[in-house]
Amino acid sequence: MNIAFKTDIGRVRAVNEDSVLVRHDVGGYALAIVADGMGGHQAGDLASQMAIDMIREELRPIHTGMSKEQCKQAIQAAIENANRDIFEFASNREEYHGMGTTVVAVAASGDYAVIGHVGDSRAYKINSESMEQLTEDHSLVNELVKSGQITREEASHHPRRNVVTRALGTEPTIKVDVLELNWQQGDMLLLCSDGLSSLVRSDVIFDIVLADSGLEDKVERLVGEALAAGGDDNISVILIANDTRKQDRDEMG
């Protein structure tokens, strides 16, 4: 598995409330997580980092000898437990009341990937034929689009496009969307916060990801496009290629 990632504070925010994690080998899986925090008094960056740390620790025992269903259950439980712990932490500290974070987490083997998510951070599957959004945003504008009140185009610049309807840490329990997909050599998974997806058109993302360049260059260009479009939010990108070329990076961001 070849993986590259980048997180950037953007041009407007005072703090980067996004957190990312990449691990190339967790029991044979590649593990990647993006969390986009929210809340005043630097609570957002704390919430996203807590989510990353807790989910990573909970998923330490996973391995490719388990079934897909067991992997799905492990990811669901890890996110649910992180939600519970963040909620309890915030409930006991007045300055952190209301803090929360989105999360999209992927455990990928050479044959399949399992994805768990809450909020509006996204996962896409990309290959030479298509770019498919795998996750459904838990957001106000997505609800408005589904109900026909606004169009998809209007959603991209709606003044409340950053409002999420589901997040880790804001309620004692949470519903986690978990899915699995088969993928093969040449396929790529893109994980990102809405600092990318709300500012850069899908066709531009698709062209950059398919460009004849290394993964590091692709993530740099994706972040650069979001910055050029205004950079009004933190931007985080993880790109995972299902191939056997040399791994680009093997650290946490």
Residue 247 lies in a domain: no
Q: What is the DSSP letter of 164?
A: B
Confidence bin at 140 (pLDDT 50/70/90):
confident
- Return mean pLDDT, the chain: 91
Please say whether the beta carbons of 239 and 221 come within 8 A. no
The Cα–Cα gap between 45 and 68 comes to 32
The tens digit of pLDDT for each residue in 174-192 reads 999 999 999 999 999 999 9
pLDDT at 246: 47
**What does the pLDDT read at residue 65?**
96
- 135: domain CATH number? 3.60.40.10
pTM of the model: 0.92
What local confidence, expressed as pLDDT, does residue 250 receive?
Answer: 43
Phi-psi bin for 138: left (phi > 0), alpha (psi -120 to 50), beta?
beta
Tell me how far apart the alpha carbons of residues 183 and 157 are, in angstroms, rounded to a whole number: 32
Per DSSP, the residues of 52-66 read: HHHHHHHTTT--TTS
41-88 residue pLDDT tens: 679 999 999 999 999 999 999 999 999 999 999 999 999 999 999 999
Q: Which of 37-51, 66-80, 116-130, 210-224 has the lowest mean pLDDT?
A: 37-51
Determine, yes or no, domain membership for 253: no
Domain annotation covers residue 233:
yes
Q: What is the pLDDT of residue 141?
A: 78
Q: At 97, give phi and psi (nearest 5°).
A: -60, 135
Q: Tally the domains of the chain.
A: 1
How confident is the model at residue 41, as a pLDDT? 61
The answer to whether position 123 is within a domain reads: yes
Question: pLDDT band at 148, cuts 50/70/90?
Answer: confident
pLDDT confidence tier of residue 244, bands split at 50, 70 and 90:
low
155 part of a folded domain: yes
Considering the chain, what percentage of its residues have pLDDT values greater than 70? 91
137 is a domain residue = yes
Position 249 scores a pLDDT of 42
Q: Which residue has the tokens 């996204």?
A: 122
Report pLDDT digits (tens) over 1-55. 899 999 999 999 999 999 999 999 999 999 999 999 997 667 999 999 999 999 9
CA distances for 113 relative to 18, 68, 93, 107, 109, angstroms: 23, 9, 37, 6, 6
Residue 186 lies in a domain: yes
Instruction: Tell me which residue range forms the domain holding 125.
Output: 2-241
Query: Which of 53, 49, 209, 180 has its CA nearest to residue 108?
Result: 180
Residue 108: per-residue pLDDT: 97
Query: Which range among 63-77, 101-115, 144-158, 204-218 shows the weakest confidence by mean pLDDT?
Result: 144-158
pLDDT higher than 90, residue 160: no
Within a domain: 23: yes
Give the pLDDT of residue 200: 95
Confidence of residue 248 (pLDDT cuts 50, 70, 90): very low
